[in-house]
Amino acid sequence: MLSAHQINVLQHLVDNCEEYITDLAEENGIKNTDASIGVAKFLVAHPENFTKMSPNQKFHYETAIEPLINEVCCDGMTGEDGSCMGNGFIDEDSLLGAYLEQDMRCQHCVATTNSWFENNP
Which positions touch Zn ion (CB under 5 A)? 74, 84, 86, 106, 109
DSSP 61: I
DSSP 47: G
Q: Which is nearer to Zn ion, 44 or 96 (CB)?
A: 96
Q: How far is the CB of 61 from Zn ion (least distance, A)?
A: 25
Residue 22 CA: distances (Å) to CA of 27, 81, 89, 116:
9, 25, 22, 37
Q: Which is nearer to Zn ion, 40 or 106 (CB)?
A: 106
Q: Which is nearer to Zn ion, 40 or 109 (CB)?
A: 109
Of residues 16, 52, 51, 55, the one with CA closest to residue 37: 16
Helix 4-16 to helix 33-45 angle (10° resolution) is 140
3-state secondary structure at position 35: helix
